[in-house]
Amino acid sequence: MKKPFPTEFILQLFSLLIVFIVVHAVYVTEIRPSALQVLEEQKVRIASDATYVPERSVYILVRDYEQEACFVLMLWAMAILAFKGYVTYRQQRHLDWDLIGVAEGTAISAANARVIANKVREELPSSVQANFLPTVLLSAIDRFSATQSVSDASAVVHTLCNAEADRCDSELSIIRYIAWAIPAIGFIGTVRGIGDALGKAHQAVSGDITGVTESLGVAFNSTLIALIISIVLMFIIHQIQLMQERLVLDVERYCDNMLIRRLEH
């Protein structure tokens, strides 16, 4: 049997490449030059005015490599989540369809079930039949046609819905890894900044604390940005997971109401 082309995997790779190119271009052309300009202006103001207190600039907060990596991972994860959200929304629209086509109150016998299954396969394109709701519905109808057992058809619906819930949960594992990796990268920036500050301790002893403060700024800024990004990303992850769980529950309820309770015992 011919294996399906891994479309989603290719989309993830291309989205990562595009996100990296865009974010790196923004950093090279805008963020890092602007951060250097702000730092130079602050140094001049500090040298001329001892009472001047530098303001925190967004460019300085996000200028380092750790923050760049965090933004790349965040946008990549959002691209994957947007794709999954679109697929889930498109499948939820199938719940508005009447795939059974049987009047309310009409019992469905094994012979009628075969007719319904053939009708669904003829009317729906193969790409649509591969979606969640048609797959569950056709599997339940085929099982009832073969065994004439309502409990077997109901068991098929329940089993496939549980399998879909597990599949959706496993596919979010890469997103959860990214959500974990972002704070870890922020802590790497913290360690790097503190290490640089300790390496410049001799300058602070001689009275020049500029290098130490810049290194400590790297340490705290990277952690701050990473934690903010992680909070935002986790919120979006939970929203997509909620959509997927609702889809599974709605499909199971649809099959129970539209098919299982109409089957002829």
Please check whether residue 222 lies inside any domain of the structure: yes
Q: Is 30 domain-assigned?
A: no
Question: Using one digit for the tens of pLDDT, what is the confidence trace for 3-16?
Answer: 444 677 788 889 99
What confidence tens digit (pLDDT) does each residue in 244-255 have?
Answer: 999 999 999 998
> In which domain, by residue range, is 189 found?
65-265
**Is 90 exceeded by the pLDDT of residue 121?**
no
pLDDT for the residue 210: 59
Q: What are 37-72's pLDDT values in tens digits?
A: 888 887 777 677 767 666 778 888 888 888 999 999
Tens-place pLDDT, residues 158-182: 999 999 999 988 888 889 999 999 9
The band of 216, judged by pLDDT with boundaries at 50, 70 and 90, is low
The answer to whether residue 261 is domain-embedded is: yes
Residue 99 lies in a domain: yes
- Say if residues 204 and 210 touch (Cβ distance below 8 Å): no
- The first and second tokens of residue 213, run together, are 């403060």
Q: Which of 198, 197, 186, 262 is nearest to 231 (CA)?
A: 186
Q: How far apart are CA 239 and CA 245, in angstroms?
A: 10
Indicate whether 17 belongs to any domain. Answer: no
Note whether residue 13 is domain-resident: no
- DSSP reduced 3-state for 263: strand
- Cβ–Cβ < 8 Å for 66, 184: no
Total number of domains constituting the chain: 1
Question: At residue 229, does pLDDT exceed 90?
Answer: yes
Angle between helices 65-92 and 210-258 (to 10 degrees): 10
Express each pLDDT in 11-38 by its tens digit: 888 999 999 999 999 999 999 999 888 8
Round to whole Å and give the CA distance between 210 and 201. 11
Mean pLDDT, all residues of the chain? 84
**Taking CA 170 as the corner, what is the angle to CA 7 and CA 182, rounded to the nearest 5 degrees?**
90
Rg (CA), the chain: 28
**Is residue 5 one of the residues assigned to a domain?**
no
The half-sphere exposure of 235 on its side-chain side, counting CA atoms within 13 A, is: 5
**Is 141 within a domain?**
yes
3-state class (DSSP) for residue 208 = coil
